A = this chain, B = another copy of it.
Amino acid sequence: MRIRPANEGDSPAIWVVLEPIIRAGETFALPRDMSERDALAYWRAPRHEVFVAEDEKGSVVGSYFLQANQLGGGAHVANCGYATAPRARGRGIARAMCAHSLEHARQRGFRAMQFNFVVSTNDRAVRLWESFGFQPVGRLPRAFQHPELGEVDALVMFREL
């Protein structure tokens, strides 16, 4: 697997990764009917530095973005969003992207990383972030309407770098 900066031509492949996750509506706080254009405008926002993970065949199987979570006095804390193609789950792609993002955030001079909205029922993600040393520093009560489970809590997770 290789993780590299996304280029303009990666947008269709990033959409292939994002679309099933957005349509499922179980983990991202994004409209389930979001268009490709809107989703890519969100993922590839000007402030986002975007990477893609390629498998051994050069196929994009994941993507993540990194940004400052706040500006001004809060600009030393990074924020990331990660997406793994559902068909490629279980191959350590999210883990590799998280490791890459922590290292890259350190290189950029960030001193901490924060995830603002981890759906509490997303066990896979919560366990993964915890394995990287992220701790829940906040719990947002019933802040996420899960399509199957109804209103569930979301977590704020944080770690120093």
Q: B-contacting residues of A (Cβ < 8 Å)?
A: 22, 25, 28-32, 34, 70-77, 112, 114, 116-117, 119, 137-147, 154, 156, 158, 160
Residue of B nearest to A32 (CB): B72
| Chain B residue with Cβ nearest A151 | B76
Q: How far is the CB of A32 from chain B (nearest CB, A)?
A: 6
Q: A70-B144, A116-B116 are in contact. List 17 more A-B contacts (CB 8 A).
A: A29-B72, A29-B73, A29-B74, A31-B75, A34-B71, A74-B145, A74-B154, A75-B145, A77-B140, A112-B142, A112-B143, A114-B143, A137-B138, A138-B140, A140-B158, A141-B160, A143-B158
What is the CB-to-nearest-CB distance from A96 to chain B, in angstroms, rounded to a whole number? 26
Inter-subunit contact A74/B32 (CB<8 Å) = no
Query: Which residues of B are found within 8 Å of A144, using beta-carbon distances?
Result: 70, 73-74
Q: Return 30 A-B CB contacts under 8 Å, by A number.
A: A22-B72, A25-B73, A28-B72, A29-B70, A29-B72, A29-B73, A31-B75, A32-B72, A34-B72, A70-B117, A70-B144, A73-B119, A73-B145, A73-B146, A74-B117, A74-B144, A74-B145, A74-B154, A76-B145, A77-B140, A137-B138, A137-B139, A137-B140, A138-B140, A138-B156, A140-B156, A140-B158, A141-B160, A143-B158, A156-B156
